[in-house]
Amino acid sequence: MWRAGQAPPLQTLRVAGRTWRFLRTRWRVTDRGGWHNLARTRTTKKLAQRIDLNYFKRPTLLKRAKFWLSVAVPLLAVVWIAWHGFSRDSSVYSSGRMSGAHAVLEAECAACHVQTAGTFSAKASDTACLSCHDGPMHHAAKMDAGDCATCHAEHRGRMSLIAARNESCAQCHGDLKTSNGATRFAAHIESFEDGHPEFAALRSNGAVAASDPGTIRVNHAIHMKPIRRGPNGPNVQLACGDCHQAAAASAKWNYADAAYTTATTSYTDLDEVLALQADAFHRSKPMSGRELVAPVKFAYACAGCHSLAFDKRFSEGVPHDKPEVAHAFLVKKFGEYISAHPAEVRVMRDPGRDLTGKPLAPEVRVLTPTQWVTERTAEAEELLWRKTCKQCHALKVGDRQDHLPSVEPARTTVKWMPHAKFDHNAHRGFSCESCHQKALTSTETSEVLLPGIATCKACHAPGPEHAESRCFECHTYHDWSKRKEVIPTFTLPALRKTGN
Amino acid sequence: MRIDKTQRGWAITSLILVAVFTAIYVVYAVHAPEGPRGGSDLGLTFGVIGFGFMLFAALLGARKRVPTWRIGRAQAWMRGHLWLGLLSLPVILFHGGFHFGGTLTRVLMWLLIITVVSGVFGAALQHYVPRVMTTDVKLETIYDEIGNVQKLLREEADRGVETICGPLGIGKSANEEVQRAGGFSAARPMVTSSGGAAVAAETVVLSEEECAPLRKFYLSEMRPFLEQPKMRGSRLSDADKAHGAFTGLQTLMPEAAQATVQDLEDICDEARQLVRQEQLHHLLHGWLLVHIPISLALILLGAVHAVMALRY
């Protein structure tokens, strides 16, 4: 056992067959001849001595991991891409998901990317697009607008291909030039907010103010206030929908008259509406019939109040039809009547109808039935042509050989914006007068009650908090009235297989 | 590499490039009829520039493997790697119009993002970890030798305890029997002393009773700690708790053993610092395990994308 003052312990080390004896560093001879335990020392030399000079040749875990990961990860990438290559799946190279309409072609690259024989390139071309659907031209005088992909960018996800950016339209409409050098449209439109003029129907043409071409006299202001229903009817408050409804609407008509709704007429719907140019109908999809408000029909909207009574002997009114039809009806009615009431050929003069300046008729006259019918018909037509019909219709007297008046065509405007589409059905959540405010005060037919562009801009503006305002929302590029049917070539089994 | 004032030129150039690219992109994006696309002329230009930046950044690895190449200073390559690699992200985003596209392009975008983000993380670590290393690891050694030094420390501790307590009965491997030169208490040729007869190495200088607390502490706590310094749960892995333990041990040991106890505390401290160094080293270099493999895959798939994009 070691005691203070004794020699310090030594260590032996056998290296390469030789035995070394070592004194531990902390032991040192003290002044009194003993041994003292010294603290550990740390010198550069000692630090260096414990390092294996070939340490950098030994791979550490970190180095090994770095190396093998650098081999494995790229190898994995190669295997992954090669696997797609061997399985002939080119969809991995797709630059993005396809639009909803083309989603079925997601794995069928060759449907659009037609490989030209002998070349590496397999770019999508207009030919591929046109093999499935037609793309009718926009305007005969348009300048070149590029290929399909200029406006319809595919591989942008499940978005609608018709949702083209404003810039697509502004390529031409930002500085409109036509092949024939003339245009009747605004020449500098960048977007709905930038450069879009007021709707054409509301624009003055020089000194001529915008005017409704319709000829049916309507005082909207009177109809929007409480109004008497017929000569002896109660007061009623009309709503817009009592007269104006979408073509395909099946709502109840509050002021219809069955006698008129079931009657056939000699005129057609087209006789009532303003003749439109064929190219005004740009339709990208079949109409639902609820987009536009149908022309007001007398039978459904007016007959409930506006009686076409023509003689006190009859409770029914004259047909709402052309004058010759009404005339024939009157002759027939009066003829039937006098046959049933032959005594009435004896006509007493009605003192109430004596008019100053006119010779008085004899006190009592006895007419032949024909004469009676002629007189009664004339009286009825006097009432109709001068008052009842004229209240709404513009009549011309004297330009017909049969002495009947001619009725001005109604020229009702069905579509106020022939180059745009508007869907009343999509706006059914709003009250009519919130947009058509002028209807509350309009007294003249000539007043255009179409809301101005400012009304639309209240909701349709850029930004997520607003309704869509890009061009495609109202306008359609292709003139679908000129579409040509394309014979489809795809088969379901072919599209179901993946790859290529 | 630290990003300091010496890199002002690179930083300003990069900012100017980003500003120019951004301005070009904004004008292009606003006026492109159907929005920015990778296949448009400008989109392709952005793609080529971005891929060029990535390629240059990737070539740093090759430059490092062949340090004798006389193609610019390594420092310039590193700076180019940092700044052009960083620039490649916005340029490629401009290339794709901020769309991640289909399967391959989506994979590429994420690989690029991971590569750039890991690179930025690594560059940020270069500012933080060395300072922490200086503060926390005063007894730093070469990372590759940490295991070896830990073994030497264990042997030194064994010898210290055996010297005063006698054999500990610990089976040692052949490696541990062969000790390299050097080390704190490494053996050195004996200095001749006055009364100096050589004494056996395993001389016991304390009685068994005196030695019992040290022997118990060493065998039950310290040696397990030295064998697995990263193992949690030992109070010796915490500096304050370890100091408390050794202070308590010193009160139980005679004067002759105080220096040895002190040595053991120093050894524990150094072992703890080496663990800390190892942790910091892993932090400082571990991001490369992500950065390098992902960037290699990025370059490889990027080349495939470039070729196939020309086809479609």
Say if the Cβ atoms of B145 and A65 lie within 8 Å.
Answer: no
B309, B38 contact by CB (below 8 A):
yes
Query: A15, A24, A121: best mutation site toward chain B, by most B Cβ within 10 Å?
Result: A24
Which residues on A lie below 8 Å from B104 (Cβ)? Answer: 81, 92-94
B6, pLDDT greater than 60: yes
Say if the Cβ atoms of B102 and A92 lie within 8 Å.
Answer: yes
B305, pLDDT greater than 80: yes
A198 DSSP assignment: S
Chain B contacts in chain A segment 3-22 (CB below 8 A) = 3-4, 7-13, 15, 20-22
Is the four-CA dihedral A35, A37, A43, A45 of positive or negative sign?
positive
Identity of the residue in B34, B102, B179 whose CB atom sits nearest the CB atom of A94: B102
B47 DSSP assignment: H
What CA–CA distance (Å, rounded) separates B300 from B295?
9
Say if the Cβ atoms of A9 and B300 lie within 8 Å.
Answer: no
A137 to chain B, minimum CA–CA distance in Å? Answer: 18
B53, pLDDT greater than 90: yes
A69 to chain B, minimum CA–CA distance in Å? Answer: 6
- Mean pLDDT calculated for residue range B168-178: 58
Q: Tell me the whole-structure pTM to 2 decimals.
A: 0.67
Closest of B301, B300, B303, B298 to residue B115, by C-alpha = B298
Q: What is the mean pLDDT of chain A?
A: 82
Is the four-CA dihedral B220, B225, B231, B233 of positive or negative sign?
positive
A477, A421 contact by CB (below 8 A):
no
Say if the Cβ atoms of B204 and A78 lie within 8 Å.
Answer: no
What CA–CA distance (Å, rounded) separates A253 from A261?
10
B291: how many CB neighbours lie within 10 A of its CB?
Answer: 21
Does residue A218 belong to the interface with chain B, where contact is any CB pair within 8 Å?
no
Task: Tokens 């690594």: give the residue.
Answer: B122
Residue B297: CB partners within 8 Å, gap ≥ 6? A73, A74, A76, A77, B111
Distances in Å between the Cα of A275 and the Cα atoms of A121, A344, A406, B75 are 51, 48, 19, 80
A2, B204 contact by CB (below 8 A):
yes
ipTM: 0.82
Q: Which residue of B has its CA nearest to A51?
A: B145
Say if the Cβ atoms of A25 and B188 lie within 8 Å.
Answer: yes
B107, pLDDT greater than 90: yes
Distances in Å between the Cα of B136 and the Cα atoms of A43, B238, B279 are 20, 13, 11
- Mean pLDDT calculated for residue range A57-82: 92
Lowest mean pLDDT, pick from A31-45, B55-69, B211-225, B292-306: A31-45
Query: A73, A75, A472: best mutation site toward chain B, by most B Cβ within 10 Å?
Result: A73
Which residues on B lie below 8 Å from A1 (Cβ)? Answer: 204-207
- Mean pLDDT calculated for residue range B114-137: 92
- Mean pLDDT calculated for residue range A77-106: 87
B188 to chain A, minimum CA–CA distance in Å? Answer: 5
Which residues on B lie below 8 Å from A78 (Cβ)? Answer: 300
Q: What is the pLDDT of residues B66-92, one digit of tens each?
A: 777 777 788 888 899 999 999 999 999
Say if the Cβ atoms of A45 and B182 lie within 8 Å.
Answer: yes
A164 to chain B, minimum CA–CA distance in Å? Answer: 7
H helices present in A162-219, as ranges:
166-173
Coil, strand, or helix at residue A124?
strand
Chain B contacts in chain A segment 37-56 (CB below 8 A) = 37-42, 45-52, 55-56
Q: What percent of chain A has pLDDT over 90?
A: 35
**pLDDT in the model for residue B199:** 36
Largest distance between two CA atoms of chain B = 100
Identity of the residue in A7, A12, A164 whose CB atom sits nearest the CB atom of B34: A164
Largest distance between two CA atoms of chain A = 176
Chain B contacts in chain A segment 113-172 (CB below 8 A) = 113, 120-124, 146, 149-153, 155-156, 164-165, 167-168, 171
Q: What is the pLDDT of residues A386-418, one digit of tens each?
A: 999 999 999 988 888 888 999 999 988 888 888
Q: Which residue of A has its CA nearest to B142?
A: A51
**pLDDT in the model for residue A204:** 86
- Mean pLDDT calculated for residue range B55-66: 85
**pLDDT in the model for residue A25:** 43
Query: B111, B193, B281, B307: best mutation site toward chain A, by most A Cβ within 10 Å?
Result: B193
B188, A25 contact by CB (below 8 A):
yes
Say if the Cβ atoms of A15 and B149 lie within 8 Å.
Answer: no
Coil, strand, or helix at residue A396?
strand
- Mean pLDDT calculated for residue range A138-152: 76
Q: Which residue has the higher pLDDT, A5 or A45?
A: A45
Which residues on A lie below 8 Å from B29 (Cβ)? Answer: none
Say if the Cβ atoms of A11 and B201 lie within 8 Å.
Answer: yes
